[in-house]
């Protein structure tokens, strides 16, 4: 039996904790917040439930396998998401990638030849992804792992060819090959997913968004709570409101952590949180980090943050549903002058598109009787307006209010008179997310998705080992593109490292 400390109770930390405890190890999870979950969490305000971060996840085969391995799959009500896409030229809720193509073709009849070429390339990317209905190889071991990797090995030559062509090309560069910059089709194909992510991911992202996008009926917080409860039943110790201030090392190895002036010893430490802060803030001996890595860490770009508006509405789910049709709606409406890289554009929020998500349309219990809950989201520039006021609380409040009102105005395009129905209103900025998750700049999915700003050379690799012996990364930060799949893979690999 080993004594293992896990820093952070996000999805990676909770899965690693459960798997290790089940194997008989002594496991303690330290969580700085008052409840488990990290980005996979939620909260109530005035009877309205909202998600804290993650709204949905993909790679369901991997997620479901992990929950079955832990023994909690039957306790969680996973439901499939349907996404409606709205713009001036199209409006539809595609069930798959082929239906998505039909919607786009119908909206842009005069651009058929160009769309034929674009979709021909995206088709190749999707075909190369293979069988997405199987769990990731990282979740297996031994012969089963080799068997699951075989399809990827056999398709390696084609993967290398396509990766060479599109792996370092951004979605903006891809879109610019076919459409005039600033046009709606350019914005559509360049703006899918994270800004300037690899064009190679666009096809897979489009395919997965319509066929493999899931959420939890009772809310993400319920998922975290079930995992936390199961962890306790297995003998694990979850310490909430317990922020770790140092990772303690001895002779080049992690030997424990300090929290609230107490020292906790361990054979292994798993950091299930921000990679940057793990080394630049928590590690007690900076000399253990090679200078090249230290320099790389300091300048490494992280994924963009979100601004989220939380609304409690004096409107029934039925009435809200008449406008939204489905719980998740993407409004494509980038206005002239939109630039995700212009952090000094005071009018940014009046130019950006917003997505709408209603937790109460997933589950009516997420709002008081006769009312509904609604979330509005958009990706925002890094450090917008001197990082939201440069530390001035009054200016921060003014900027936050300005962003909220602009996003509500944008959503009113779909829900006329939205402002009049608001019973509760608040917002989270990247600073909010950083405060609660400790992710650098409120990063929503670990490192930057831009192929020109890679931290890891291989964007699909899972990197749990560190320069410090017995210190592992067990969060989405172990992969370049992060997300729930990255956290899952990291958790399983960390468990495999601990004998």
49, pLDDT greater than 70? yes
The Cα 330–Cα 346 span in angstroms is: 23
Residue 10 near residue 37 (C-beta atoms within 8 A):
yes
Sign of CA dihedral 121, 125, 128, 131: negative
Model confidence at 129, in pLDDT bands (50, 70, 90)? low
For the chain, the domains span 3-44+220-301+449-497, 96-212, 304-437
Q: Which of 423, 422, 430, 438 is nearest to 396 (CA)?
A: 430
Strands 26-30 and 237-239: what pairing?
parallel
User: What's the average model confidence in pLDDT over 33-62?
Assistant: 95
158, pLDDT greater than 90? no
The Cα 351–Cα 313 span in angstroms is: 24
160, pLDDT greater than 80? no
What CATH fold (topology level) applies to the domain 3-44+220-301+449-497?
A: FAD/NAD(P)-binding domain (3.50.50)
**Model confidence over 222-262: pLDDT tens digits?**
999 999 999 999 999 999 999 999 999 999 999 999 999 99
83, pLDDT greater than 80? yes
Q: One fold for both 3-44+220-301+449-497 and 304-437?
A: no
Determine which of 40-44, 47-51, 208-212, 354-358 has the lowest per-residue pLDDT on average: 208-212
Q: Which of 49, 51, 4, 61 is nearest to 30 (CA)?
A: 4
pLDDT value, residue 205:
78
The Cα 448–Cα 302 span in angstroms is: 4
30 φ/ψ angles, rounded to the nearest 5 degrees: -100, 125
**Model confidence over 401-418: pLDDT tens digits?**
999 999 999 999 999 999
Can you read off the two tokens belonging to residue 201? 């991911």
Task: List beta partners, residue 375.
Answer: 310, 357
pLDDT value, residue 117:
95
The Cα 10–Cα 433 span in angstroms is: 13
The Cα 113–Cα 398 span in angstroms is: 47
User: What's the average model confidence in pLDDT over 21-31?
Assistant: 98
User: What's the average model confidence in pLDDT over 474-490?
Assistant: 94
The Cα 370–Cα 315 span in angstroms is: 7
Q: How is residue 170 annotated by DSSP?
A: B
pLDDT value, residue 157:
66
Strand, helix or coil at 474? coil
Residue with tokens 């370092």: 168
**Across the chain, what does the average pLDDT equal?**
93
pLDDT value, residue 146:
65
**The domain made up of 304-437 is a member of CATH 3.30.70:** no
pLDDT value, residue 152:
65
432, pLDDT greater than 60? yes
- CB under 8 Å to 196, separation ≥6 — which residues? 170, 171, 172, 190, 449, 450, 452
Strand, helix or coil at 123? helix
Q: Which of 333, 287, 223, 268 is nearest to 2 (CA)?
A: 268
Measure Cα distances from 396 to 340, 356, 384, 430, 439 in Å: 20, 24, 11, 12, 19
**Model confidence over 390-400: pLDDT tens digits?**
999 999 999 99
User: What's the average model confidence in pLDDT over 205-212?
Assistant: 82
pLDDT value, residue 151:
67
Task: List beta partners, residue 91.
Answer: 86
53 φ/ψ angles, rounded to the nearest 5 degrees: -150, -85
Strands 253-259 and 372-379: what pairing?
unpaired
pLDDT value, residue 280:
94
More confidently predicted of 64 and 206: 64
**Model confidence over 273-302: pLDDT tens digits?**
999 999 999 999 999 999 999 999 989 999
Strand, helix or coil at 367? coil
**Model confidence over 162-186: pLDDT tens digits?**
777 788 899 999 999 999 988 889 9
pLDDT value, residue 29:
98
The Cα 186–Cα 172 span in angstroms is: 8
């Amino acid at each position: 039996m080993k004594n293992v400390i896990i820093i952070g109770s996000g999805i990676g930390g909770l899965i690693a904790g459960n798997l290790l405890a089940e194997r008989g190890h002594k496991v303690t999870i330290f969580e700085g917040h008052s409840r488990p979950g990290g980005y996979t969490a939620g909260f109530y305000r005035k009877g309205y439930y909202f998600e804290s971060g993650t709204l949905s996840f993909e790679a369901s085969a991997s997620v479901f396998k992990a929950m079955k391995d832990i023994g909690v799959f039957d306790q969680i009500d996973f439901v499939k998401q349907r996404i409606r896409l709205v713009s001036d030229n199209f409006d539809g809720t595609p069930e798959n990638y082929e239906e998505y193509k039909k919607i786009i073709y119908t909206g842009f009849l005069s651009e058929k030849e160009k769309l034929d070429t674009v979709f021909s390339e995206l088709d190749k990317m999707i075909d190369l992804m293979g069988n997405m209905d199987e769990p990731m190889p990282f979740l297996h071991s031994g012969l089963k792992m080799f068997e699951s990797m075989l399809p990827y090995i056999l398709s390696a030559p084609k993967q290398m060819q396509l990766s060479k062509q599109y792996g370092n090309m951004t979605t903006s560069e891809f879109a610019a090959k076919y459409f005039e910059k600033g046009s709606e089709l350019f914005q559509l194909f360049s703006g899918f997913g994270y800004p300037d992510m690899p064009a190679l991911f666009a096809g897979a992202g489009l395919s997965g968004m319509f066929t493999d996008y899931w959420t939890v009926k009772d809310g993400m917080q319920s998922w975290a709570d079930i995992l936390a409860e199961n962890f306790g039943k297995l003998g694990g110790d979850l310490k909430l409101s317990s922020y770790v201030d140092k990772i303690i090392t001895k002779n080049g190895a992690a030997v424990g952590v300090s929290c609230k002036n107490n020292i906790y010893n361990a054979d292994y430490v798993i950091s299930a949180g921000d990679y940057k802060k793990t080394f630049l803030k928590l590690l007690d001996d900076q000399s253990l980090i090679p200078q090249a890595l230290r320099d790389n860490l300091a300048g490494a770009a992280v994924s963009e943050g979100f601004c989220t508006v939380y609304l409690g509405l004096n409107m029934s789910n039925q009435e809200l549903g008449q406008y939204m049709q489905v719980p998740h709606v993407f409004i494509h409406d980038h206005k002239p002058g939109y630039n995700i890289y212009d952090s000094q554009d005071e009018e940014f929020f009046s130019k950006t598109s917003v997505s709408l998500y209603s937790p109460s349309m997933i589950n009516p219990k997420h709002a008081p009787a006769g009312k509904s809950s609604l979330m509005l989201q958009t990706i925002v520039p890094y450090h917008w307006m001197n990082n939201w006021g440069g530390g001035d609380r009054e200016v921060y409040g003014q900027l936050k209010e300005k962003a909220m009102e602009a996003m509500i105005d944008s959503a009113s395009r779909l829900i006329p008179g939205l402002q009049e129905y608001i019973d509760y209103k608040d917002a989270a900025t990247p600073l909010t997310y950083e405060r609660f998750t400790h992710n650098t700049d409120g990063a929503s999915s670990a490192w930057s998705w831009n192929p020109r700003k890679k931290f890891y050379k291989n964007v699909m690799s899972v990197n749990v080992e560190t320069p410090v012996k017995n210190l592992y990364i067990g969060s989405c930060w172990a992969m370049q593109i992060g997300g729930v799949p990255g956290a899952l893979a990291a958790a399983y690999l960390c468990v495999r490292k601990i004998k």
